[in-house]
Protein backbone atom coordinates (compact mmCIF):
# COMPACT_ATOMS: atom_id res chain seq x y z
CA UNK A 1 0.00 0.00 0.00
CA UNK A 2 2.84 2.43 0.81
CA UNK A 3 4.38 1.77 -2.58
CA UNK A 4 1.04 2.46 -4.31
CA UNK A 5 0.54 5.74 -2.44
CA UNK A 6 4.06 6.89 -3.33
CA UNK A 7 3.48 6.01 -6.98
CA UNK A 8 0.24 8.02 -7.04
CA UNK A 9 2.11 11.03 -5.64
CA UNK A 10 4.68 10.88 -8.42
CA UNK A 11 1.98 10.53 -11.07
CA UNK A 12 0.22 13.63 -9.67
CA UNK A 13 3.49 15.59 -9.86
CA UNK A 14 4.04 14.33 -13.39
CA UNK A 15 0.56 15.42 -14.46
CA UNK A 16 1.12 18.85 -12.89
CA UNK A 17 4.34 19.30 -14.85
CA UNK A 18 2.47 18.32 -18.02
CA UNK A 19 0.77 21.72 -17.81
CA UNK A 20 4.18 23.35 -18.19
CA UNK A 21 5.99 20.99 -20.54
CA UNK A 22 3.16 19.18 -22.32
CA UNK A 23 4.32 15.69 -21.28
CA UNK A 24 2.12 12.69 -21.92
CA UNK A 25 1.20 10.40 -19.04
CA UNK A 26 2.22 6.80 -18.48
CA UNK A 27 -1.06 4.93 -18.81
CA UNK A 28 -1.97 1.79 -16.88
CA UNK A 29 -5.24 -0.10 -17.28
CA UNK A 30 -6.99 -2.90 -15.43
CA UNK A 31 -5.91 -5.51 -17.98
CA UNK A 32 -2.20 -5.10 -17.25
CA UNK A 33 -0.58 -8.06 -15.54
CA UNK A 34 2.06 -8.43 -12.83
CA UNK A 35 5.09 -10.65 -13.38
CA UNK A 36 7.57 -11.72 -10.71
CA UNK A 37 11.36 -11.79 -10.98
CA UNK A 38 12.87 -13.85 -8.15
CA UNK A 39 16.12 -15.77 -8.54
CA UNK A 40 15.23 -17.94 -5.51
CA UNK A 41 11.87 -19.05 -6.95
CA UNK A 42 12.05 -21.54 -9.87
CA UNK A 43 8.50 -20.66 -10.91
CA UNK A 44 9.39 -16.96 -11.40
CA UNK A 45 11.52 -15.24 -13.99
CA UNK A 46 15.18 -15.47 -13.00
CA UNK A 47 16.27 -12.13 -14.51
CA UNK A 48 14.63 -8.87 -15.52
CA UNK A 49 15.72 -9.37 -19.12
CA UNK A 50 14.09 -12.80 -19.19
CA UNK A 51 10.81 -11.19 -18.16
CA UNK A 52 11.05 -8.41 -20.75
CA UNK A 53 11.87 -10.88 -23.52
CA UNK A 54 8.91 -13.13 -22.75
CA UNK A 55 6.21 -12.67 -25.38
CA UNK A 56 3.47 -12.81 -22.73
CA UNK A 57 4.76 -9.60 -21.12
CA UNK A 58 2.95 -6.71 -22.78
CA UNK A 59 2.89 -2.91 -22.77
CA UNK A 60 1.93 -1.51 -19.37
CA UNK A 61 2.63 -4.72 -17.46
CA UNK A 62 4.37 -4.65 -14.08
CA UNK A 63 7.63 -6.53 -13.60
CA UNK A 64 8.04 -6.84 -9.84
CA UNK A 65 11.61 -7.61 -8.80
CA UNK A 66 11.99 -9.35 -5.46
CA UNK A 67 14.95 -8.82 -3.16
CA UNK A 68 18.32 -10.07 -4.32
CA UNK A 69 21.28 -9.07 -6.48
CA UNK A 70 20.74 -9.42 -10.23
CA UNK A 71 23.87 -9.12 -12.35
CA UNK A 72 22.74 -8.22 -15.85
CA UNK A 73 22.65 -5.54 -18.53
CA UNK A 74 18.96 -4.85 -19.18
CA UNK A 75 17.63 -3.62 -22.53
CA UNK A 76 14.14 -2.25 -21.95
CA UNK A 77 12.44 -2.44 -25.34
CA UNK A 78 8.87 -2.73 -24.05
CA UNK A 79 6.83 -0.06 -22.27
CA UNK A 80 6.74 -1.83 -18.91
CA UNK A 81 6.98 -0.88 -15.23
CA UNK A 82 10.00 -2.36 -13.43
CA UNK A 83 9.61 -1.96 -9.66
CA UNK A 84 11.82 -3.42 -6.96
CA UNK A 85 10.69 -4.80 -3.62
CA UNK A 86 13.07 -2.62 -1.58
CA UNK A 87 15.73 -0.22 -2.91
CA UNK A 88 18.08 -1.25 -0.10
CA UNK A 89 18.02 -4.94 -0.95
CA UNK A 90 16.85 -5.16 -4.57
CA UNK A 91 20.08 -4.58 -6.47
CA UNK A 92 20.70 -4.60 -10.21
CA UNK A 93 24.41 -4.62 -11.00
CA UNK A 94 25.72 -4.21 -14.52
CA UNK A 95 27.49 -7.20 -16.02
CA UNK A 96 29.57 -5.59 -18.76
CA UNK A 97 27.75 -2.49 -20.01
CA UNK A 98 25.03 -0.01 -19.11
CA UNK A 99 22.80 -1.41 -16.38
CA UNK A 100 19.53 -0.26 -17.99
CA UNK A 101 19.15 0.88 -21.58
CA UNK A 102 15.71 2.27 -22.48
CA UNK A 103 14.81 2.45 -26.16
CA UNK A 104 11.01 2.89 -25.97
CA UNK A 105 8.58 5.38 -24.41
CA UNK A 106 6.60 5.16 -21.17
CA UNK A 107 8.91 3.00 -19.06
CA UNK A 108 8.91 3.07 -15.25
CA UNK A 109 12.02 2.08 -13.25
CA UNK A 110 11.55 2.40 -9.51
CA UNK A 111 12.64 1.16 -6.09
CA UNK A 112 16.00 -0.36 -7.09
CA UNK A 113 19.66 0.02 -6.28
CA UNK A 114 21.45 0.39 -9.61
CA UNK A 115 25.23 0.05 -9.70
CA UNK A 116 28.16 -1.14 -11.75
CA UNK A 117 31.90 -1.52 -11.34
CA UNK A 118 32.49 -1.37 -15.10
CA UNK A 119 34.26 1.81 -16.26
CA UNK A 120 32.52 4.23 -18.67
CA UNK A 121 29.09 2.71 -18.12
CA UNK A 122 25.77 4.27 -17.20
CA UNK A 123 23.18 3.32 -14.61
CA UNK A 124 20.19 4.21 -16.82
CA UNK A 125 20.69 5.30 -20.42
CA UNK A 126 17.62 6.83 -22.05
CA UNK A 127 18.28 6.55 -25.76
CA UNK A 128 17.34 9.06 -28.49
CA UNK A 129 13.60 9.10 -29.12
CA UNK A 130 12.76 7.41 -25.82
CA UNK A 131 10.35 9.81 -24.10
CA UNK A 132 7.97 10.12 -21.16
CA UNK A 133 9.74 7.72 -18.82
CA UNK A 134 9.50 7.76 -15.01
CA UNK A 135 12.64 7.07 -12.93
CA UNK A 136 11.87 7.24 -9.20
CA UNK A 137 12.94 6.09 -5.74
CA UNK A 138 16.17 4.47 -6.96
CA UNK A 139 19.67 4.50 -5.50
CA UNK A 140 22.16 4.93 -8.34
CA UNK A 141 25.83 4.58 -7.48
CA UNK A 142 29.30 3.55 -8.68
CA UNK A 143 28.52 4.33 -12.34
CA UNK A 144 30.30 6.64 -14.75
CA UNK A 145 27.01 8.50 -15.32
CA UNK A 146 23.97 7.84 -13.14
CA UNK A 147 21.26 8.68 -15.72
CA UNK A 148 22.12 9.73 -19.27
CA UNK A 149 19.45 11.39 -21.44
CA UNK A 150 20.17 12.07 -25.12
CA UNK A 151 17.59 13.57 -27.50
CA UNK A 152 14.89 12.71 -25.01
CA UNK A 153 11.71 14.53 -23.99
CA UNK A 154 9.21 14.54 -21.15
CA UNK A 155 10.98 12.30 -18.64
CA UNK A 156 10.49 12.61 -14.87
CA UNK A 157 13.32 11.77 -12.45
CA UNK A 158 12.06 12.09 -8.90
CA UNK A 159 13.10 11.02 -5.41
CA UNK A 160 16.25 9.23 -6.53
CA UNK A 161 19.55 9.16 -4.65
CA UNK A 162 22.78 9.52 -6.62
CA UNK A 163 26.19 9.07 -5.01
CA UNK A 164 29.66 7.93 -5.97
CA UNK A 165 29.23 8.36 -9.75
CA UNK A 166 32.48 9.13 -11.56
CA UNK A 167 31.45 11.72 -14.17
CA UNK A 168 28.10 13.04 -12.96
CA UNK A 169 24.77 12.04 -11.49
CA UNK A 170 22.65 13.17 -14.47
CA UNK A 171 23.84 14.09 -17.98
CA UNK A 172 21.45 15.75 -20.44
CA UNK A 173 22.35 16.19 -24.10
CA UNK A 174 20.01 17.85 -26.61
CA UNK A 175 17.03 17.06 -24.41
CA UNK A 176 13.97 19.14 -23.60
CA UNK A 177 10.94 19.22 -21.34
CA UNK A 178 12.33 16.94 -18.62
CA UNK A 179 11.60 17.31 -14.89
CA UNK A 180 14.08 16.58 -12.08
CA UNK A 181 12.48 16.78 -8.66
CA UNK A 182 13.40 15.89 -5.08
CA UNK A 183 16.59 14.04 -5.94
CA UNK A 184 19.45 13.65 -3.46
CA UNK A 185 22.80 14.09 -5.21
CA UNK A 186 26.07 13.93 -3.28
CA UNK A 187 29.67 12.70 -3.50
CA UNK A 188 29.66 12.51 -7.29
CA UNK A 189 32.11 14.26 -9.58
CA UNK A 190 29.30 16.58 -10.76
CA UNK A 191 25.57 16.83 -10.11
CA UNK A 192 23.58 17.83 -13.22
CA UNK A 193 25.51 18.42 -16.45
CA UNK A 194 23.24 20.04 -19.05
CA UNK A 195 24.57 20.28 -22.62
CA UNK A 196 22.63 21.71 -25.56
CA UNK A 197 19.33 21.28 -23.73
CA UNK A 198 16.35 23.60 -23.30
CA UNK A 199 13.16 23.95 -21.26
CA UNK A 200 14.05 21.53 -18.48
CA UNK A 201 12.89 21.97 -14.88
CA UNK A 202 15.06 21.34 -11.79
CA UNK A 203 13.03 21.56 -8.58
CA UNK A 204 13.69 20.80 -4.90
CA UNK A 205 16.84 18.81 -5.51
CA UNK A 206 19.47 18.58 -2.79
CA UNK A 207 22.85 18.74 -4.55
CA UNK A 208 25.79 18.82 -2.19
CA UNK A 209 29.39 17.75 -1.55
CA UNK A 210 30.15 17.01 -5.20
CA UNK A 211 33.70 17.46 -6.47
CA UNK A 212 32.79 19.83 -9.31
CA UNK A 213 29.51 21.53 -10.26
CA UNK A 214 26.09 21.27 -8.68
CA UNK A 215 24.36 22.28 -11.93
CA UNK A 216 26.34 23.07 -15.09
CA UNK A 217 24.81 24.60 -18.24
CA UNK A 218 26.72 24.47 -21.54
CA UNK A 219 24.97 25.72 -24.72
CA UNK A 220 21.70 25.38 -22.79
CA UNK A 221 18.82 27.84 -22.56
CA UNK A 222 15.41 28.46 -21.00
CA UNK A 223 15.89 25.99 -18.17
CA UNK A 224 14.38 26.66 -14.73
CA UNK A 225 16.02 25.86 -11.38
CA UNK A 226 13.66 26.41 -8.46
CA UNK A 227 13.88 25.48 -4.78
CA UNK A 228 17.14 23.56 -5.02
CA UNK A 229 19.87 23.46 -2.40
CA UNK A 230 23.36 23.66 -3.92
CA UNK A 231 25.86 23.33 -1.09
CA UNK A 232 29.51 22.44 -0.55
CA UNK A 233 30.25 21.76 -4.20
CA UNK A 234 33.21 23.40 -5.92
CA UNK A 235 30.73 25.58 -7.84
CA UNK A 236 27.01 25.72 -7.14
CA UNK A 237 25.82 26.67 -10.64
CA UNK A 238 27.97 27.09 -13.75
CA UNK A 239 26.78 28.94 -16.88
CA UNK A 240 29.19 28.41 -19.75
CA UNK A 241 29.39 29.14 -23.46
CA UNK A 242 26.10 29.86 -25.18
CA UNK A 243 23.93 29.42 -22.10
CA UNK A 244 21.28 32.11 -21.85
CA UNK A 245 17.77 32.86 -20.60
CA UNK A 246 17.99 30.31 -17.81
CA UNK A 247 16.01 31.19 -14.68
CA UNK A 248 17.12 30.42 -11.12
CA UNK A 249 15.08 31.48 -8.09
CA UNK A 250 14.24 30.29 -4.58
CA UNK A 251 17.45 28.26 -4.53
CA UNK A 252 19.88 28.01 -1.62
CA UNK A 253 23.50 28.58 -2.64
CA UNK A 254 25.47 27.61 0.45
CA UNK A 255 29.23 27.46 1.02
CA UNK A 256 30.27 26.23 -2.39
CA UNK A 257 34.05 26.10 -2.23
CA UNK A 258 35.15 28.15 -5.25
CA UNK A 259 31.98 30.12 -5.93
CA UNK A 260 28.25 29.81 -5.57
CA UNK A 261 27.81 30.83 -9.22
CA UNK A 262 30.38 30.89 -12.04
CA UNK A 263 29.46 32.64 -15.30
CA UNK A 264 32.11 32.62 -18.03
CA UNK A 265 29.92 33.88 -20.89
CA UNK A 266 28.09 37.23 -20.52
CA UNK A 267 24.78 35.91 -21.83
CA UNK A 268 21.58 37.03 -20.06
CA UNK A 269 20.37 34.68 -17.33
CA UNK A 270 17.89 35.58 -14.59
CA UNK A 271 18.46 35.11 -10.87
CA UNK A 272 14.91 36.01 -9.79
CA UNK A 273 11.37 35.74 -11.14
CA UNK A 274 10.80 39.54 -10.91
CA UNK A 275 9.86 39.12 -7.27
CA UNK A 276 11.74 36.33 -5.50
CA UNK A 277 15.47 35.65 -5.66
CA UNK A 278 17.84 33.13 -4.09
CA UNK A 279 19.64 32.67 -0.79
CA UNK A 280 23.39 33.30 -1.06
CA UNK A 281 25.58 32.28 1.85
CA UNK A 282 28.17 34.97 1.07
CA UNK A 283 25.60 37.78 0.65
CA UNK A 284 25.26 40.21 3.56
CA UNK A 285 22.76 42.67 2.09
CA UNK A 286 18.96 42.72 2.08
CA UNK A 287 16.88 41.78 -0.95
CA UNK A 288 14.05 44.05 -2.03
CA UNK A 289 11.38 41.45 -1.22
CA UNK A 290 13.13 39.52 1.57
pLDDT in tens, 18-29: 444 444 455 566
Q: Is it the case that residue 12 has pLDDT exceeding 70?
A: no
pLDDT in tens, 66-121: 999 999 999 999 999 999 999 999 999 999 999 999 999 999 999 999 999 888 89
Question: What DSSP letter does each residue of 176-225 carry, written as one string?
Answer: BS-EEES-EEESSS-SEEEES-BS-EEES-EEES-SSEEEEEES-BS-EE
Task: Summarize the confidence of residues 263-288 as an average pLDDT.
Answer: 73
At 276, the pLDDT band (50, 70, 90 cuts) reads confident
At 281, the pLDDT band (50, 70, 90 cuts) reads confident
**CA 88/CA 258 separation, integer angstroms:** 34
At 258, the pLDDT band (50, 70, 90 cuts) reads very high
Question: What DSSP letter does each residue of 155-176 carry, written as one string?
Answer: -EEES-EEES-SSEEEEEES-B
Q: Is it the case that residue 10 has pLDDT exceeding 50?
A: no
Are residues 20 and 182 in contact, defined by beta-carbon separation less than 8 angstroms? no
Are residues 86 and 62 in contact, defined by beta-carbon separation less than 8 angstroms? no
At 179, the pLDDT band (50, 70, 90 cuts) reads very high
pLDDT in tens, 36-46: 999 999 999 99
At 30, the pLDDT band (50, 70, 90 cuts) reads low
**CA 139/CA 170 separation, integer angstroms:** 13
List of residues 6+ apart from 40 with CB closer than 8 A:
66, 68
CA 178 remoteness from chain centre: 9
Structure confidence at residue 198 (pLDDT): 98
Amino acid sequence: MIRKIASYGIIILFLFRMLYFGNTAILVNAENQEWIVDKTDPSAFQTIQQAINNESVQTGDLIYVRNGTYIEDVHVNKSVRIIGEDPETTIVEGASGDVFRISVDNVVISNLTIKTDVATTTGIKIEPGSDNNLISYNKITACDIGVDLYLSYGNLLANNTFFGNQLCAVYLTSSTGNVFSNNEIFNNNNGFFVYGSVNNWFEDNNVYSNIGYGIAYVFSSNNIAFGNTLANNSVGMFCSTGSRDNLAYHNNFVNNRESNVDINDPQPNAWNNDFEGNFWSEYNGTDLHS
